[in-house]
Amino acid sequence: MMDPDNLLSVRDLKVYFPRAKSGWLAKPEVVQAVDGVSFDIRRGTTLAIVGESGSGKTTTALAVMRLAPITGGHIQLGSVDLTALSGEALRRERRRLQIIFQDPFSSLNPRERAGATVRAPLDLMNVGTPLERPQRVAELFKAVGLRPEQQHLFPHQFSGGQRQRINIARALATNPELVVCDEPVSALDIAIRAQILNLLTRLQRELGLTYLFISHDMAVVEHICDEIAVMYLGQIVERAPRKDFFANPLHPYSVALMSAVPTVQGGRRRATQRIKLTGDPPSPINPPVGCRFAGRCPVAEVACTLALPPLVEVTTGHWVRCSRVEVVSGHLARGPIQLPQAT
């Protein structure tokens, strides 16, 4: 039974994409983009999924939105099993979950005025009466820091940050419970990123929103998330509350990611040297039988290549998929051996 404190529950999610055969006698190939991902998001909180390009984090987000085909597993929003819905039933549930896309430029119709863009979900999902919708659009513009009279402008008349505010207003139009944020600030200048992150934080506090936040930027994630999940080659390798994760990342891949976060001496975290990983991730078409990070891990043992480690809760709320992490009598006895630093 689902915990009532959780808004979203994902269990053993799989998203596989078949590839075209390279020849008549070639065997069909399948890309295992997401392979057995599970997580929960508590109401009113933010779970960030991080990882490098190709890790499967965006595909996971699209699957939650039912915008990518689901091969296996379950996605439950409140008491509703989204994986069991289709057609009109799925369309009715879509008002409860919305998405903010990465690119504030291509995600807007260049021939549609900003006000019409924000109003479109209201018309499509029959939210409010036709007489109430113009007022709702004006309220949304004000909520995201835009002036109501800017409704009549086209996308090219806005800056990049303003365009992303339009996307946020559109996502909020149907009063959603869950908002999926797919790299919402990665295409923006650093100064504008802070403004958009502060806006998302304020809206969450005022509206009680729940966020699934996709990012590759650890500094951004630390600013906004309550929990963090690290993905590598289609699987979650570590999941923990924000403070625990940033204080003590346990998986070697997480440690390497953290070493790439810029720090200053005397700041909140001790400055560390960069850990450089060599090699490329394995192919998601034919992943290894053991730990998928073993081929790039500086502290991998032979045993790491023989069997896939399970995702184990090593301390309260802190899960890790690594055989180098040892737990004795419910307490963390050993984390990964210190990774070698770049010279």
Nearest Cα neighbor of 60 from 230, 220, 176 is 230
Cα–Cα distance list, 327 to 173, 237, 244, 310, 324 (Å): 47, 16, 16, 13, 10
Burial 178-203 (b: 16+ CB within 10 A, else e): bbbbbbbbebbeeebbebbbebbeeb
pLDDT tens figures, 102-140: 888 888 999 999 999 999 999 999 898 999 999 999 999
Give pLDDT tens digits for 42-70.
999 999 999 988 899 999 999 999 999 99
Q: What CA–CA distance (Å, rounded) separates 216 from 90?
A: 30
Query: Residue 336 — very low, low, confident or very high, per pLDDT cuts 50/70/90?
Result: low
- The pTM of the full predicted model, rounded to 2 decimals, is 0.90
* Residue 47 phi, psi dihedral angles, 5° rounding: -105, 125
Q: Tens of pLDDT along 153-173?
A: 999 999 999 999 999 999 999
| Weakest-pLDDT range from 77-86, 233-242, 293-302 | 293-302
